[in-house]
Chain A
Amino acid sequence: MTVATWVLAILFVFPLLWMILTAFKQESDAYTDPPKLFFKPTFDQISGVLKGDFLPYLGNSAFVTIISTLLVLLLGIPAAYALSLAPVKGTKNALSFFLSTKMLPIVAAIIPLYVISQNTNLLDTVWALIILYTAMNLPLAIWMMRSFFMEVPGEMIEAARIDGANLPTLLRKIIMPVVAPGVAATALICVIFSWTEFFYAVNLTAARAGTVPVFLVGFITSEGLYWAQLSAAALLASLPVMIVGWFAQNHLVRGLSMGAVK
């Protein structure tokens, strides 16, 4: 069973391993028949991509991802609080409204979004993406964080209230320590979805505000002629999220399941 699991796992991720191998090939080694498993590794492709115009796209991705994730937390934490620890009337309606926005196909809104961004001079700026990614991630984030807030024992809050703690103190001393891991997991998921988002980015940005996925589009015009360079670019573009995801995979599992199933 163990051997079978290993074999299956390696087969499953083989395209990815192949991409990593190809990223260290010379172009002439990248497309051969039969494919080459052994070759003299080179950093030419990696450094070629880094010397090209990749870095501005990377900068845009980082900026958009960080700012929109911070905005999600800024707007989402109070909302999750209102929907869990101090439930307002219509909590269920608010929650189903948030969830329902996730079900509306994004393609149906792209035309007005294009026209609006054009009229407000936001087209091809990072701000258009920041606003949209915040709205895209906020519903799921509120839903997830709400369930983490539910973990805070009500008696603890009552006791602190009786002792005269006001809301900021309550948040800082009692609530935040309990919900911090959940908030971190939520932020992580927002980071992944923002970093990998393609549809808005490809339609609403061009050279100035393009993110990393938009950078990769440049490769389809070359008809796949530069496989090694494409692999290097794909690897570099994915690496930040891959590393974050690897180190936080336990949070990811917890965040996804607890956040949604609890």
Chain B
Amino acid sequence: MSTLSVPAGTAPATTSRTEKKATNKTGKRRLPLLPALIFVIAVTQIPFLLTLFYSFQSWNLVRPGSQHFVGLQNYVDVFTDSTFLGALLNTVVLTVVCVFVSLLLGLGLAILLDRKFAGRGFVRTLLITPFLILPAAGALLWKTTMFDPTFGLLHFVFNTDVDWLSQFPLAAVMAQIVWQWTPFMMLLTLAGLQSQSKEVLEAASVDGANRWRTFFSITLPHLSRFLQLATLLGAIYIVNSFDAIFLMTQGGPGTASTNLPFYIYQRAFEGFDIGQSSAMGVVVVILTMIVATFALRLMFRAFSVDGGTK
């Protein structure tokens, strides 16, 4: 039983006992936690503070001595930069579509795998493999052997001369990301399916519920925590997508497939504009924090709901 899953007030005895003990020996008890806490704070928070500091500076790396305070100018520039706004939109589209589609595909595959059949272990092994290959390898693989307009498999199968990467750059990138993340969603959903209580399912069939009814009334509610978790973890990683865009389209053609991580990278490492890319970084952090606050709340609610597993 986790402390998080205990609704406040249901276990006053244990809580107060633990807390009393904790206050008596707080220092000693905190000791094992401190190294990890200090390490994570140092490595993750200090750079963000520096990003905040840089975002008020005009600073170009290739011009030594150019660093000076400019106040909010970088932020004004960011919000009037149409490429930034386009990249923001692309990021939202890419994240929402990829999470949704890979979750749906993952759920479908998990349902197919949640039955006994010949070669099930092998099929599962096959299906998780896209998650295990390097995303960089996957991206290059799709760019060449799948999407190439002359020799690619898609050209052969659909018999078209469509140049996927220049005509549908964002969709092509999303296809690769969905392919990469479906196995992860499938693994989590499968774990959820397999943790279902067999008695409840049997009881449902004894009561005469058909497959669909059972799925929607029993399986789906049980899965909801797993699906929420998959959504949250998937979104965290997919929002940061960089490999596929960097290796497949370089954000192009033009800025058609530029997302925020790629645009900030470009401003920083190709434009050497530290001030402006830092301001973008800060804006991204604030936006993420707003979204994450809602996501965290959802997650804690997911933790505290006991989905009928006891």
Using a CB–CB cutoff of 8 Å, the interface residues on chain A facing chain B are 1-2, 4-6, 8-10, 12-16, 18-19, 22, 31-35, 75-76, 78-79, 81-83, 86-89, 91-92, 94-116, 131-132, 134-135, 138-139, 142, 146-147, 150, 192, 195-196, 198-199, 202-203, 212-213, 216-217, 219-220, 224, 227, 230-231, 233-235, 237-238, 241-242, 245-246, 249, 252-254, 256-258, 260-262
Contacts and interface: CB of A to CB of B under 8 A. Distances in A.
Contacts of B281: 105, 107-111
B129 A242 contact: yes
B39 A237 contact: no
Contacts of B47: 109, 112-113, 116
A79 B39 CA distance: 12
B132 A192 contact: yes
A246 B192 CA distance: 20
Interface string B107-144: 00100110101110001111111111111111011111
Contact of A1 (B112, B150, B268): B112
A256 B188 contact: yes
B50 A234 contact: no
Contacts of A87: 3, 18, 22
B134 A237 contact: yes
Interface centre among B125, B130, B192 (most CB of A within 10 A): B125
B40 interface: yes
Contacts of A78: 31-33, 35-36
Interface residues of B, number: 106
B191 A13 contact: no
22 contacts: A2-B118, A9-B126, A15-B179, A16-B133, A31-B150, A75-B36, A78-B32, A81-B32, A82-B31, A82-B33, A97-B40, A101-B40, A111-B54, A112-B46, A198-B243, A216-B134, A233-B137, A234-B140, A237-B134, A241-B134, A246-B125, A260-B229
B241 to A, nearest CB: 10
Given A104-B288, A109-B47, A199 B156 contact: no
Contacts of A235: 137
B112 A4 contact: yes
Which of the listed residues B124, B134, B299 has the most CB atoms from chain A within 10 Å of its own CB?
A: B134
A138 B36 contact: yes
Interface in B244-285: 246-247, 260-261, 264-265, 268-269, 274, 277-278, 281-282, 284-285
